């Protein structure tokens, strides 16, 4: 993983935004929303709060927080909660997503778990930046393809791209 950058550094943020086709406002809004979502986490067992924010192609933001369960495997990560909400709202059919941000209370930026990486792969292009913030808002950005090399997705099954709308009845 690359070394963390301070989100308080205009130079670092500008470079990140230029590289990943984001505006500084989009970057800071992703950070604010991921941090806000983190405060809503339900994690009475691990006390490991995670918040996620998605930037949609439409310019909207969708938030998610981790939701733990006494039966640990039933726990749902913040990234999957956010994507589930986005799918319910139809964003995957309206151009998809431009960025994913994840915020934790960890001392170093934490990447999405393997299950979340695969879940993100279902709905996001491999070039989508995943911005990972630590407790002090220092961050690391990696493209999904870097976090999930040799990925397996809908295209491997010959399935339609979930980000593209299906034709209406009567259309070919």
Q: How far is CA 154 from CA 55, 120, 159, in A?
A: 21, 12, 5
Structure tokens at 136: 């002090």
pLDDT at 152 over 60: yes
Nearest to 103 by CA among 112, 93, 91, 95: 112
| 66 assigned binding-site residue | yes
| 69 assigned binding-site residue | yes
Asked whether the beta carbons of 151 and 172 are under 8 A apart, the reply is no
> Which class for 104: exposed (0-12), middle (13-18), buried (19 or more C-beta within 10 A)?
buried
Q: What is the largest CA-CA distance in the chain?
A: 55
* 3-class DSSP assignment, residue 32: helix
Active site residues: 79
pLDDT at 167 over 70: no
pLDDT band with cut points at 50, 70 and 90 for residue 172: very low
| 77 assigned binding-site residue | yes
pLDDT at 163 over 60: no
| 122 assigned binding-site residue | no
pLDDT digits (tens, 9 = 90+) for 93-129: 888 999 999 999 999 999 999 999 999 999 999 999 9
Region of residue 156 (left: phi > 0; alpha: psi -120 to 50; beta: else) = alpha
| Mean pLDDT confidence for 133-146 | 97
Rg (C-alpha) for the chain, rounded Å, is 16
The reported pLDDT for the residue numbered 94 is 87
pLDDT digits (tens, 9 = 90+) for 64-98: 999 999 998 999 999 999 999 999 999 998 889 99
Domains (range + CATH), the chain: 5-142 (3.40.140.10)
Q: How far is CA 101 from CA 45, 71, 72, in A?
A: 24, 27, 24
What rounded mean pLDDT belongs to the chain?
93
pLDDT band with cut points at 50, 70 and 90 for residue 170: low
Structure tokens at 57: 């192609």
pLDDT at 20 over 50: yes
Asked whether the beta carbons of 22 and 99 are under 8 A apart, the reply is yes
Cross-strand pairs, 118: none
The reported pLDDT for the residue numbered 67 is 98
| Mean pLDDT confidence for 20-29 | 98
Percent of the chain at pLDDT above 70?
Answer: 93
């Amino acid at each position: 993983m690359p070394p963390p950058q301070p989100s308080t550094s205009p130079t670092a943020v500008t470079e990140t935004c230029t590289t990943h086709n984001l505006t500084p406002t989009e970057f800071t809004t992703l950070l604010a929303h991921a941090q806000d979502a983190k405060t809503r986490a339900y994690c009475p067992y691990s006390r490991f709060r995670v918040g996620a924010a998605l930037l949609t192609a439409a310019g909207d933001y969708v938030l998610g927080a981790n939701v733990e369960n006494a039966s640990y495997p039933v726990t749902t990560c913040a990234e999957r909660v956010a994507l589930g909400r986005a799918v319910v709202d139809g964003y995957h059919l309206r151009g998809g997503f431009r960025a994913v941000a994840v915020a934790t209370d960890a001392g170093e930026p934490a990447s999405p778990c393997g299950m979340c990486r695969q879940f993100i792969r279902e709905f996001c292009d491999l070039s989508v930046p995943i911005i990972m913030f630590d407790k002090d808002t220092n961050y690391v950005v990696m493209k999904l393809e870097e976090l999930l090399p040799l990925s397996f997705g809908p295209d491997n099954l010959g399935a339609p791209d979930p980000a593209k709308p299906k034709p209406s009845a009567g259309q070919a």
